Amino acid sequence: MHKIEILNNLKGEVVIPPSKSVLHRALILASFSEHNVVINNVNYSLDIKATLNCLESLGINFIKRKDSITVIPSKFKKISDLDANESGSTLRFMIPLMLLLDEEISITGHNELKKRPLDAYIELFKEFNIKYEYDGLLPLKIKGKLEPNTYHLKGDKSSQFISGLLMVLPFLDGDSKVLLTTKLESKQYVDITIKEAREFGILIEEIDGGYFIKGKQKVKINSYTVEGDYSQAAFFLVANCLGADLKLKGLKRPSLQGDEKILYFLEQAGFYLNSDYKVIRKDLKSVCFSLKENPDLAPILGLLLSTLPSESRLIDLERLAYKESNRLLSTYELLKQIGVDVRIEDASLVIKHTTNYKEGFIDTFNDHRIVMTSFISTLLTKTNYINEYSPVNKSFPDFVSVFTDLGGLVYSSLDSARLLINEADLELKEAFLKRFKCIKEVLNYKIKNKLPVYDEKREKEVIERNMTNFNDEILSKYYLEFIEFLLKISKEYQSENYE
């Protein structure tokens, strides 16, 4: 258990880390280059490491520096196993790359990623007679070859399937099409892929019902700089809305990223920001936001909506079930823990205006966005306790150090445990004094009515009442000794003061 605390406020300058979505794509596109490509402004989150490790296993060479990665011209090689760790982007982006080799290859993942749906690819495997072994959980084993062709994909499953194909098809020997059989959701992520590919010199044409991809294209750039991540910036933007004084750097406007929409959401809620992203005016109002295209913003926007008048809603949250946690439930639990009046209606969160926030004991569900929201919520509660914060390594490894540099306090597990013991000791002291105040009244009654100090029946009742429903078998005997000791010193006090 870790104690998170903000004594005064968060204040300072925040350099927003590079966009994970953009960096995944840059690494894959650069892997097809026939010359060195330097990618600037990188970080090594667990998800990015997963993509790097998979590409290295496939034969791609890198020179890794603190803030840049040089991609060295390499040929894809035969490999038997890949590991996407917990990265959904890595998993879905690697599958088309695996099909370049016409070899039997398996890919696995860990924790919730093992359950991440792969329906769109499975349908393609069946259509194009690609051999596969998959029982609904990773690992997935495939053998086949990706050829220039027309591929039909559902647009309402995940944009990652479409992006995965769009990043590989331009490098095949012939032209291809990707046609959508249902309406495309999360279109902004496909737009990131297309716009970023264009910056690499790769053209993908949007046509009626899908995309046309010319084959035999080549990477034409020598260097690329990754822009700041709006999904990470959202935590600090909301922090400013909650009273922090933070200057944000590294964001690009207009951006490739769909989560740039956080700025629109904040303005709709009545928060007006200057060029440093500080709040300069408020005109707060209740809102209803659809997050069908921006599911990663749900936890931090849920926190913000609790400060708005009356009642607000986050709707279209179906896809939250397939994140690092069931993020609909984990966001709900987080908000409840800190005193927010919130309820789930279908795939929506209904959030009421809250004034009486309380310190929370928060299960972060191994979800990096729940962890970061828990930290920012401390602006409202002043203190929170969380079971772990290591999940931030998935996307923002420096988050905790940034938080402390801005004035937040984070105590280690041992420190937090001892602080909790200290608080429990203070509560125990108050309970002790309250108990003996009552014992004084009992003693005065006994003296007045000439009753004995020891009351065997009463003592048995006290023990029985306290031990009822005490369900910890290990601690049960110690709690019994504790109650018996209290009764012993109570008798001693009464005997010594009986007049």
Hey, which residues are catalytic here?
296
Buried b (16+ CB within 10 A) or exposed e, 422-451: eeeeeeeeeeeeeeeeebeeebeeeeeeee
CA distance linking residue 358 with residue 337, whole number of Å: 8
Beta bridge partners of 246: 12
168 and 97 Cβ atoms separated by less than 8 Å:
yes
Closest C-alpha among 429, 436, 431, 434 to residue 491: 436
> How many angstroms separate the CA atoms of 244 and 377, rounded?
11
Give, as one character, the DSSP assignment of residue 174.
S
Radius of gyration of the chain (CA): 29
* C-alpha–C-alpha distance, residues 326 and 318, integer Å: 10
Q: Which stretches within 306-450 are classed as H helix?
A: 327-337, 368-381, 399-405, 413-448
In contact, 63 and 69? CB cutoff 8 Å: yes
149 is written with which tokens? 């062709």
What Å distances lie between residue 216 and 77, 176, 437, CA to CA?
19, 11, 87
Partnered with residue 18 across adjacent β-strands are 228
